[in-house]
Amino acid sequence: MKTSSTPYVELDREVWRELRATTPLPLTGGELDELRGLGDPIDLDEVRDVYLPLSRLLHLYVAATRTRHAAIEEFLGASERTTGGSPMPFVLGVAGSVAVGKSTVSRLLRLLLARWQDHPRVELVGTDNFLYPNAVLEERGIMHRKGFPESYDRKALLRFVSGIKAGEPEMTVPVYSHLEYDIVKGASQTVHRPDILILEGINVLQQAPTGRLAVSDFFDFSVYVDARVDDIRRWYSDRLLALWRTAFTDPSSYFHKFTHLSKEDVLAFAKEVWTDVNEVNLVENIEPTRGRATLVLRKGSDHAVRSVRLRKP
């Protein structure tokens, strides 16, 4: 463990692993296979070493947050309770680049946290659900900026998170399909008042313009999944190649038109998209938010987490 005058404590994997304490492993290899993302080699050892300690830390945070909220409720008095007497939902943000593995992290945390007895209702929502439909992006001339901050319906996202935090019994959000590469017309996801909401997306730690609220203002804890840019670039190319062999073969896929391309053409396309879009977004918008996270998971070239940076209290 490294300590200094910075607001963070740095822990290598060996030290972090010991902080699991007696937290049991509540999932099987089969369950892990079902939630693992394409190209993400996470295994049960990684769960034990990295995500069980994180699950324990988050469990402690939820308990502490509830205690703080109870103190506010007591101060305000029964007639002015802010959440109708029920615990206020705990909101966890998970951020990071395209292809870094944050979706797998989010699905895994959802399962682990839901198996603690004190907070069984855990919901996961991706910010891709708040992308503007392709028709809107094309009308505004920003289709090539899809994934950049301006491509999201920020007001709708803020309404959703603030509603969850305010204790609304249910909130409905649109549904984004990676297969169709667009918002699905007529589809919706209803989130019933959860104990914990996990909000996952590349943009969740973005700062708001001066004088306005940011989505992260509603977070009780946030995780940034980090890696070297060169490694993420390779993972992105590998994932696109895997999709070309699998999901792109579906006639309903937006990218079905690429199935006629050669492997070399697919890799060239991946390099172009990464260089012109994803890396620009990472460097300009995503990576600068890393310092705002409560905890940073730093991955090595094999996708395994090598170290953890935790913000001090």
pTM: 0.94
Domain-located, residue 183: yes
1 is a domain residue: no
CA separation (Å) from 250 to 87, 246, 262? Answer: 44, 8, 17
Q: Which backbone phi and psi does 299 adopt, to 5 degrees? A: -95, 150
Residue 2: per-residue pLDDT: 54
Considering just the CA atoms, what is the radius of gyration of the chain in Å?
A: 20
Structure tokens at 177: 């399909």
In a domain, 2, yes or no: no
- Residue 43's domain comprises 8-311
Pairing mode, if any, of strands 182-192 and 170-177? antiparallel
131 lies in some domain: yes
Of 222, 228, 197, the C-alpha closest to 290 is 222
* Total domain count, the chain: 1
Q: Which among 106, 95, 101 has a CA at the least distance from the CA of 235?
A: 101
Q: How far is CA 67 from the centre of its chain?
A: 26
DSSP 53-103: HHHHHHHHHHHHHHHHHHHHHHHH-GGG-SSTTSPPPEEEEEEE-TTSSHH
Is 237 contained in some domain?
yes
Closest CA to 287 of 97, 6, 93, 92: 97
Is 258 within a domain? yes
Residue 46, pLDDT score: 96
User: Please, are residues 103 and 200 in contact by the beta-carbon 8 Å criterion?
Assistant: yes
H-run or E-run covering 238: helix 229-245
Angstrom distances, CA of residue 139 to CA of 72, 88, 134, 182: 47, 39, 8, 14
Nearest alpha-carbon partner for 48 in 2, 14, 94, 83: 14
Asked whether residue 184 is domain-assigned, the answer is yes
The pLDDT of residue 73 is: 79
Look at residue 3 and tell me if it is in a domain: no
| Alpha carbons 223 and 205: distance in angstroms, whole number | 9
Contacts of 250 (CB under 8 A, 6+ apart): 179, 256
Residue ranges in the chain modelled with pLDDT below 70? 1-5, 78-85
Helix then strand then coil, % of the chain, to nearest 5:
50, 20, 35
Task: Read off the CATH number of the domain in which 255 is found.
Answer: 3.40.50.300
- Judged by DSSP in three states, 105 sits in helix
